[in-house]
Amino acid sequence: MAITIEAYNVFRKALLDGDIDLVNDTLKLALCTGTYSPDIDADLDYGDITNEVANGSGYVTGGAAVTGGALNQDDSGDSGEFDIDDVVWSSASFTAAKAVLYDTTVSNKLICYIDFDGDQVGDGGNFTVAINASGILSIGE
C-alpha cells in the first residue's frame, strides 16, 4: 500500500502568514470514502469536503480530535516536522479511503489529506490512522 499525504495550498499560505498554530490550535481528522477527490487548489475548509464517512457505526461526523501535536527539528535530515498521535475510532464498522486534517480554530481550514490507496474497512474493532514516527508533515530542502 502506497499512502499519500499532501498539503492543501490554503494551509501552505496560512502557515506562511502565521495564521495556523499546529501545536495549540484544535485540529481534527475526518474520514472520507473513496469518492472524495481532493483538490489542493480549490478545497479550502471543512465545508469543501465531500463524501465523509456516515455518522454512526463508530464514527461521528466531523471526525476525531487530534492529540499530541509537536514540532521537531531534524538536523540530520535538514527538515522541520509536525507530528501527531495516531487517531483511533473504536467499535468501527465503516469503510474509509482518505482522511482530512483540518484546523477548527482557524475557520476549519484544511491542512492536508491522507490517501490510504484504497478502502480500509473497520470490522467492529479499532480503526486506526497510524502516523509515521517521523511525523505527518515535513518541510525540508
- pLDDT, one tens digit per residue, over 7-60 is 999 999 999 999 999 999 999 999 999 999 999 999 999 999 999 999 989 999
Residue spans of the domains in the chain: they are 4-134
| pLDDT of 2 higher than 90 | no
Q: What single-letter amino acid sits at 106?
A: V
Q: Three cell numbers at 86? A: 495516531
CB 119, CB 7: distance < 8 Å = no
Distance CA 116, CA 130 (A): 11
Q: Which of the four pLDDT bands, split at 50, 70 and 90, describes residue 1?
A: low
Q: Which of the four pLDDT bands, split at 50, 70 and 90, describes residue 5?
A: very high
Pairing of strands 109-121, 79-83: unpaired
Name residue 83's beta-bridge partners: 70
Longest dimension (CA), the chain: 44
Q: Three cell numbers at 87? A: 487517531
Phi, psi dihedral angles at 83 (to 5 degrees): -125, 150
Give the pLDDT confidence score for residue 140 in this predicted structure: 78
The whole-angstrom distance between residue 68's C-alpha and the CA centroid of its chain comes to: 13
